[in-house]
Amino acid sequence: MELIFLGTSAAIPSKKRNHSAIALKAFGEVFLFDCGEGTQRQMAKAKVSPMKIKKIFITHLHGDHLLGLPGMIQTMAFREREEPLHLFGPPGLKEMLEAAMKLGYFSMNFDIYVHEIGPGKIMETEEYIISCAETEHTVPNLSYCFEEKKKPRFLRDKAIKLGLKPGPAFG
Active-site residue list:
64
From CA 8, how far away is CA 38, in angstroms rounded?
12
CB 155 within 8 A of CB 72: no
From CA 79, how far away is CA 12, in angstroms rounded?
30
Q: What is the total residue count of the chain? A: 171
What are the backbone dihedrals phi and psi of residue 119, each rounded to the nearest 5 degrees, phi first? Answer: -60, 145
From CA 90, how far away is CA 82, in angstroms rounded?
26
From CA 143, how far away is CA 141, in angstroms rounded?
7
- Which DSSP state fits 52? G
